[in-house]
Amino acid sequence: MFRRQGYHAAGVDKVMEEAGLTAGGFYAHFASKEALLAETLAPAAASALRDEPIEHLTGRAWAEAFVERYLSPAHLVKTEDGCPLPPLVSEVARAGGPVKASFEAIVRGLATRLQNQAGGDVSEDRALAVLALCVGGLGVARSVQDGALAERILAACRDLALAGLFADASVQTSARPPRKRKAR
C-alpha cells in the first residue's frame, strides 16, 4: 500500500483493512505508522528484488542483468510490487531514524552486491552512484506522463549505469568529503 499510494496517503485504517485486520489492533503490533514502514521496507525490497531469471547468474552477467531488469519497462509499471526505493525515496527523506536506517541498509546491501558482482576495481562509490542512477531513473520515468519519454529515460539511464559500472576502473568517482548538512 505504501508503494501504491505513498506513505503519507496510506492511513492506518486502510493499511489494516488491506491486511484483513481491524484498525484497533494496529497499535498492538506497531508503535506508529512510521514503525510499520521501518519494519516493512526490508521484506518489501527482498521480495521485489528476488528475481529468479537472474539469480542463477554471477559476476558481470548478474550486474548487467540487474541494471537491465531494474530499468526495464516491466519494472516501470510494477509500482506496487516493484522495488520500494523509487516510490518512497522522497517520503523516507522526511522520515525518522528507524525508517532511514532500514532504507539505508537496503541501499548499502544493493550497492555491495553490485560492487561484488561487477568485479574488477569497481569502487563502493561507483556502485552507489549506479544504484542511485537506477533508483532515480526509475522514479523519474514513472513520474512523466509521456510513455515514450519514460522509455527514453529508462534506456538512457540503463546505458549510463552500465557504462559507469563497467568503465575503465582508473576513472573513479571524485567522491569528496560530504558537506555538513544544515539542521532543518
| Model pLDDT for residues 40-96, shown as the tens digit of each residue | 788 888 887 787 788 889 999 999 999 999 999 999 998 888 888 998 888 888 888
pLDDT level of residue 6 (50, 70, 90 thresholds): low
| Helices vs strands, H then E, count in the chain | 11, 0
pLDDT tens, 99-129?
899 999 999 999 999 999 998 788 999 999 9
Quote the CA–CA distance of 171 and 122 in Å, as a whole number.
Answer: 10
pLDDT, average across residues 29-44 = 76
CA–CA dist 125, 147 (Å, integer): 32
DSSP state of 82: S
Fold for domain 2-166?
A: Tetracycline Repressor; domain 2 (1.10.357)
The pTM of the full predicted model, rounded to 2 decimals, is: 0.77
Residue pair 158/102 in contact (Cβ under 8 Å)? The answer is: no
What is the full DSSP assignment across 161-179? HHHHHHS-TTS---PPPPP
Split at pLDDT 50, 70, 90, the class of 173 is very low
User: Each residue of 132-159: pLDDT tens digit?
Assistant: 999 999 999 999 999 999 999 999 999 9
pLDDT of residue 123: 92
Greater model confidence, 5 or 107:
107
Q: Where are the domains of the chain?
A: 2-166
Please give the pLDDT value at position 4.
58
Closest CA to 73 of 144, 158, 140, 154: 154
